[in-house]
Amino acid sequence: MSIFILWILHASSVFSFEKQSIGWLENVKINNSNLQLRAKIDSGATTSSMNAKIIKKFTRDGKKWVRFRVKDKRGQEVILEKKIERYVKIKRKLIFSIKRPVIKLGICLGKVFREQEVNLADRKNFLYPMLIGRNYLKGYFLVDSELTFTTKPLCK
């Protein structure tokens, strides 16, 4: 009996950790760069989305790739090349659907760095250039809708 209780205590300490509480707006860094973007945290969205100016789609080693430009609020920009993982069809209210390329991108929020699927979009008419969806959030974060900018991207 005491071995069983010891195992439960050990198992709970191994598997328990505290999720970080974040606000509905946060700053993130992408791809281990100094490029910092304001991101809307959206637990209603499955995947993340990022404002990007697609420069060119091309083939490399038989795979589809995309070259795109990302600019932060200070005007700093980077040009990235990423393999296209797939395309996603985005349904929009009262107008036609669009297809967006989906890439894998490293995102740093707080102390958490994760590589996740992100669709590339023209978000210039949105207030925030990045949207973080629940695939990135799950298991690591709790969203408090009263808070904004609770943490800085601190990934190493």
Domains of the chain, by residue range, sit at: 20-143
pLDDT of residue 46 exceeding 80, the answer is yes
DSSP state of 18: P
d(CA 49, CA 123): 9
Whole-prediction pTM value? 0.81
- The CATH architecture one would assign to domain 20-143 is Beta Barrel (2.40)
Q: What pLDDT, on a 0 to 100 scale, did the predictor assign at position 11?
A: 44
Give the pLDDT score at 17.
64
Quick: pLDDT tens for 87-118. Answer: 998 776 777 888 899 999 999 999 999 999 99
State what percent of residues in the chain have pLDDT above 70: 88
Q: What pLDDT, on the 0 to 100 scale, is given for residue 134?
A: 94
Phi, psi (rounded to 5 degrees) for 17: -155, 160
Cα 100 to Cα 25: distance, rounded to the nearest angstrom: 24
Task: Take residue 64 and report the two structure tokens written for it.
Answer: 């589809």
Neighbours of 137 (CB within 10 A): 23
